[in-house]
Structure formats: C-alpha cells, structure tokens
Structure 1
Amino acid sequence: MLSGQILDAMITSCENAKTVLRQAAIDPSDRKTLNISMGATVAAELLGRTPEALSKAEARGRLPAPKTAANGRRFYTVEDLIAIREKLGIKMGKLPSERAVVIAVQNFKGGVSKSTTGKHLADYLALRGYRVLVVDCDPQASMSVMFDVNLEALVDETHTLSNFLSPRIDEADSLRKTIQKTAWPNIDICPANLGLQDTEWELTATIEEGPTAIAGAFRMLRIGLEEVRHDYDVVILDPPPAMGFLGVNTLTAADGLLIPVPARQLDYLSTIHFMQTCREAMDLVSKFDTSIDYGFIRVVCTMFQPNRTNEAQMLQVMEKTYAGQMLSTPILLSEEIKNAGLSMSSIYEINKPYGSHQTYTRCRDNLNMVFREIEKDICKQWPSRMAQVGTDRLTEAA
C-alpha cells in the first residue's frame, strides 16, 4: 500500500475514534453544556463574601432564595454568581474606559501544561466575574477543543483567525467576526484551525516585501485585538510552541507573560532558551514598534510533585534564578486535572470528583491560590483597581 493510502486509512480511523471519544465525553448533547454547581462556601469565596453574608442578604430579600439540594444545602450556578454580583453591586474587572489585559501563556517546550494552564486560568477568571476572551493561536487547536469548538465546521469558514492573520486574504477584515460563544456565559473564543499552519508560511513570505510589511506581519494580532479590548476584561492567548510569525504575534500583542515550567532539568534548560529567544524577538520588533512592553512576567511551576526530591530541589533552583518573577505557589500534579481533561473539561467544570472529594478540593484550592496571584497582577494594570490589589477579598457586604 502506498504511503498516502496508509495515511488516509490512519486519518479515517483516527477521525472515527475521535467521534466516539467526543460523544462519550459530551454525551448526550452534541454540544458541551455548562453544568457547574457549588456550595455556599465556594460561591462566597468566589464572590469575595462569607457564607453568612450571603445567607443574610437572602434572608433580607436583597438576593433571591437560593437553590437547595435534596439534602437541604444551598447551591449556586455560574449564572447565579453573575446575578448576585449585579444585585449586590460587586464590580469586577475594568472600567468601560479601560482596556482588557492581554496575557500570553507561552513556552516552546511541549508537555509543560501550557494549554491546560490557560484553560484553567480562563475558567477561574470567569468564575470570579471577569469577561474573558480566549484566542487560540496554535494550529494544534488544543484550547479550541477544550472549549468544544467544532473544528471541522471551520474548514470552509471565511471568518477564522487564520484568515484574519493571513496577509493574502482580504475577506476576514475584522477580528470580531472570528469570535464565537462558548458554554460559559462570560467566556468567548477565537478558535484555531489547521489553516493557521498555512498562515505561518504566508506571514513568513512577507520577508521578501521589506521592513514595512514585516512590521505589519508581526503586529497583526495586536492591531486586531484593539477592536475588542474594551469588550472584555482579560484576553488569554494560547500561542504555538515555536517562535515563528505566529509566536511573535502573540508576544507583541501581550501585556503580560505567564510561563509554565515543570520542575524538571530539561524543561528548565529549555525555558532559558525560550526566554533568550523572546528577548531577541522583542529587540527585533522594537525596531518597528517601541510601545511594546509587559506589565508583568510570571513563571509558574506546573505538574509539581513535592514528594520527589529532585523536583523539590529544582523548584528551589527556579525560585532563586527567576529573579523574583516566580509565582509563590506551584500547580500540583493531580489525577483530577488529568481525568477532567479526558472529558474536555477543567477542574472548575466538573461537579463530581473522579477520586475522593478531598483530593478534588485540594486540587481546586491549589489552582485558586495560583490564579489569585495572577489576578492581582491583572488588576494592577487598571488604575481603577490598583487600590484593591492589596486585599484578597472585597469589602464584605452587610
């Protein structure tokens, strides 16, 4: 059998398997739905209140009566959190006059939990009440799959991110037209597809057209995001694991960098190369645009196993050498995250733990601690929120 026929057979087999896996993960609906519920303690923490404060507000009629489970316990949904913030006047995010903070979750090394970290960060921020736009810039489209985007439907679609970024195509003249809704009421996505790989080559071809064309190719995503930066609080970019034109586009569009690095020697050494390449790319782009700068650069240790001596030692090395840019809390390796990923979900999207409830709670609380640090960095970028950064909670409502 010819190689092409072998590949065709493999592709067909994989497509069939993908359909089965997708149906198993999202059954019975063809589309992913959000079915998150949480107890009063978790809801209150996300709202920056106490369970007692919520209960008092409900008793006094300031809030509608909560939903109750069969055991009599109160529970809340994502939609309930949005309604409660509106009722109590809890303002999250920026002022209308301020701009969204754009974060690139980037590292060249594969297997460092880049897309998984970006997905969990997006979900955390949505639960906290921020309006989030996710932009998947990776042709592998892992982030798009986790948000249940039908990639096959994008093949012939004109208004895609790949078409928008392509210097050869004029049809997709608006980044806004590439945005799709997700199952989350306050998360939208610009999905990726395999066409981004062709876009990379097309952007590379601008080298022959001179400095002006190159400068434009480097900043296409940055320019496109200006159209929607007042519509969202946070934009999360999921870049490709390489420093081509797509990678430079994400770096030039970002206000902040979040660099996931496992506490392993090879990943540590690879990240040094990544940082050197980023620096070189910034030097190159600064010749065309001197306004590009980062409000923050943070390194987060991912998939950390504290009981492994070599990882604990490597974490100490990372803390000493990353010049104070290291997040104080590492993301722990957890089977809960791995199992949630099998169902195209994050920890925040599942109601029933795969293991013990204690393991699930420990995993969720760990992620909350990590992302709370990032949330503070985000808020520092808005003059209207800087006064609140020093406190972990908003003032409790009477």
Structure 2
Amino acid sequence: MDLMKPIEANALDDLALQISERMTNAVKGHLLQAFAPDMTKTLRLFSVPEAADLLNTTPQFLRKCHSDGTLPEPAEQRGTRKYYSAEELWSFRQILEKKSSTPGRYLPWRREGEALQVWQLMNFKGGCAKTTTTAHIAHYLALNGFRVLLIDMDPQASLTGMCGLDPHQEFGATTIYDAITLNDPVPMSEVIRETFMPGLHIAPSQLILSEFKMEARADKNFFLRLQDAIAQVQDRFDVVLIDSPPELDILTLTGMAAATSIIVPMTPSMMDVTSTAQFMRLVSSYIGVINQHDAKLDYDHFRFLITRDEPTDGPSQQLVAFLRALFPNILMQATCYKSTAVSDATMLKQTVYELDRSDITRSTYDRARASMDAVGAEIRAMMETSWGRQ
C-alpha cells in the first residue's frame, strides 16, 4: 500500500476502511524501529553502574563477585566494558540471595503471611497518562526484583501493546476476558503471558473484553470475577497492577473489587481537578452499591498521583501546591514529569527504562528516569508498609 497516495473512496464505509488499513500499516512500520524483525520486543543491556544500582550494590562488589567466581561474567563485553542483560541480572539475584545474610536483599519477594498487593490505576479522564504510568511502575518493580503481574482491563489494549503483544495480530489468543467471562472461563494461568522483561507477566486484553459489560448484567456478583481469577495465581506474584479503561464502568468496578490499593493519576490542570472531583463522587456512590452486595471494599492505600508534571510551569505548580495543602496524606510526594524522553518512548510503546541514556539528551533522560524512579520507590514503600516491613 502506498501510504503517500491520496485516499479515494466513493462511500463512507470504504473511506473508513481505507483509513483504518493505512493507519494500521503505518503503525506497524513505525514499530519496526523499536521491535525486532519478528515483531517481538527485546530489552536493552545495562552498564555496570546501572546493573549495580538495580542490584542495590556497588560496581566494586560486582567486579569482586566476577573475580572470585560468585557470579559468571556477562555475555556481552565490549573491550574492557561489561554489559548485562535483564535475564542475567535476574539470575544474579537468585545467586546473591542464597549467599546473603539479609533475607530479601536481592529478592524482595513477599514472605509468608504477607498478602498479595493488587494496585488499580483508574480515572475516567483521558490523557492523564494512566497506562503509561502503569507500565513505568511495572518496569521499575520488575527491574528491582519483584514478581509483577499486569492486568489490562481496557478493551483498547494499550498496555498489552506496550508489553510487546499486538492485540490485533494475535486475535483469538486467550485474554483476561477468557478468565472472567461468565461462559466457561479458562484458568487464569492459561491467560498469563511472559513479557520481554524477567519477572514481568501480563494478562493481555483485546476488544472482546467489551463483551464482559453485557455479560455482567446477568450476574449480580460480576465484580468478584477478577478477584477470583487473581486468587488462582496469587502464589506466583508479589504485586498485581491493573490498568482500567478511561471511564467508571463495569470493568473498572471489577478492578476496584479486586484491588487492595488505588491510584488515581491526574494532570495539574483545573479541568482535570474538576473532572476528578466528579469521578470521586461517582466512585463513592458505586462503592456504596458494591458494599451492599457483601463485598466490602477496604484499601490499604488510596492515593492521587500527579502526572505530566512541569516543574517550570508556574500556574501548574501553584495547583500542585494547592492540592498538597488540600490532601496532605492522599497526594503522592513523587510526580511523573512531563518529558520528551517519556513522550518519545511512548511513541514506540516503550518506557524510559527501555531507552538507552545515550539515545537522547542525557540531562533529559536523567530527569525523566529520576521522576519515574521516585514514583516506583514510593509505591514500593507503600507495599512494604502493607507488609509490615516499615
């Protein structure tokens, strides 16, 4: 198909079809820049300082472990420089944990008696970077040694795409819909897919998930179906992150019933604040309805997260300060910066963690990475508080 040729159509349906086909082909061509030729995602390598930081140790300690045989040498060495794959770092964690006198230092998995953490990100305001933020939190936690399960509860399947799966190309594959449908659901274990990042799995989505909204009308306890599906695989993970659709519908309510904590992303604009106020009023009324069906919602944490934050924008910072004064215990301290590094990565269905620092202006990368690290670290701290570690 010649993507530069003007579209000619005699009927509206033909015009719509041609537009769809042209956009699909253009996107596939664009994604070839980020994906391998077989359309599978791969993760970049990590330098010695990055690897040491992710393992919560020092470059000197890594060198010592290589020299004394504790850890094998990485496969990739360019001259005198070593580079590590995510798979190698994941295996290093297993080795170092066995030799460590401090349990959980290298494998911070939940321990006996610690409940699975299920976090839902939700807001019915589009453009609040909900899916992008979910992916960044997941990558942060996985790279820091946690076993993470992503659940894409949005029929648009944007999160599925960010994990390297094409929801259109793989039509017919099992998705989260198959695990929660009222009609012969499959085991959750058959839905979950590995991703390109060790420790990170996903229950993908497709457009068919919209059918669940219709099915739910026949089951007054529909909101428990995701909770039951997660329970089937809870021993395999430390944390579950649910990306909900940009609306307060049956799919979002299903996630709310399964969650142990909630994050509401919002941009620092008066329009977003007004919209979120309306959203919270609806949340309150729906929680009341769910509670009437003997499914008491009780969250460990309920937080607002500022996204697309611009520290140099005076008016937006005034609004952030206003929100901090208004909700001192609800607004997260960390914020997601509005950054060209994040925007550029998102265009290729990536996160900042997938970018190489040398690919863009280093100061831009460092600011974006520090922002996302801070958000991930705050989430981790709240998880560990729920586990009684802090």
TM-score, normalising length from structure 1? 0.88
Partner of 2:303: 298
Partner of 1:163: 178
Partner of 1:12: 21
Letter in structure 2 aligned against 1:165: I
Cα gap change, 1:67 to 1:22, in 2 (>3 Å): closer
Partner of 1:358: 363
Cα gap change, 1:243 to 1:41, in 2 (>3 Å): same
Unaligned runs of 5+ in 1: 207-212, 390-398
Task: Quote the offset at 1:139 in angstroms.
Answer: 0.9
Is the counterpart of residue 61 in structure 1 residue 91 in structure 2? no
Partner of 2:260: 255
Aligned residue for 2:257, secondary structure, equals helix
Distance in 2, Cα, partners of 1:350 & 1:96: 36
Matches within 5 A, 1:219-230: 219-230=224-235
Aligned counterpart for 1:185 among listed residues 198, 202, 208: 198
Distance in 2, Cα, partners of 1:362 & 1:127: 19
Structure of higher RCO (CA pairs closer than 8 Å, 6+ residues apart): 1
Aligned residue for 1:130, secondary structure, equals coil
Aligned residue for 2:70, secondary structure, equals coil
Task: Quote the offset at 1:304 in angstroms.
Answer: 0.8
Contact 1:336 1:354 in 2 (8 A): no
Deviations 1:343-362 (A, max 9, x none): 22111112254421222122
Unaligned runs of 5+ in 2: 1-9, 98-105
Extract structure 1 runs of 4+ deviating beyond 6 A: none
Contact 2:181 2:212 in 1 (8 A): yes
Aligned residue for 1:230, secondary structure, equals helix
Aligned residue for 2:235, secondary structure, equals coil
TM-score, normalising length from structure 2? 0.90
Letter in structure 2 aligned against 1:46: L
Partner of 2:100: none
Is the counterpart of residue 26 in structure 1 residue 26 in structure 2? no
Aligned positions, number? 373
Letter in structure 2 aligned against 1:161: I
Deviations 1:207-237 (A, max 9, x none): xxxxxx31x2121111111101111111110
Task: Quote the offset at 1:86 in angstroms.
Answer: 1.3
Distance in 2, Cα, partners of 1:96 & 1:184: 26
After superposition, the CA RMSD in angstroms is 2.0
Matches within 5 A, 1:1-398: 1-34=10-43, 36-66=44-74, 69-70=77-78, 72-89=80-97, 90-95=106-111, 98-157=114-173, 159-167=174-182, 169-170=183-184, 172-203=185-216, 205-206=217-218, 213-214=219-220, 216-383=221-388, 386=389, 389=390
Task: Quote the offset at 1:152 in angstroms.
Answer: 2.6
Deviations 1:76-127 (A, max 9, x none): 2212221221121123120256442111111111001000000011111010
Sequence identity (%)? 27
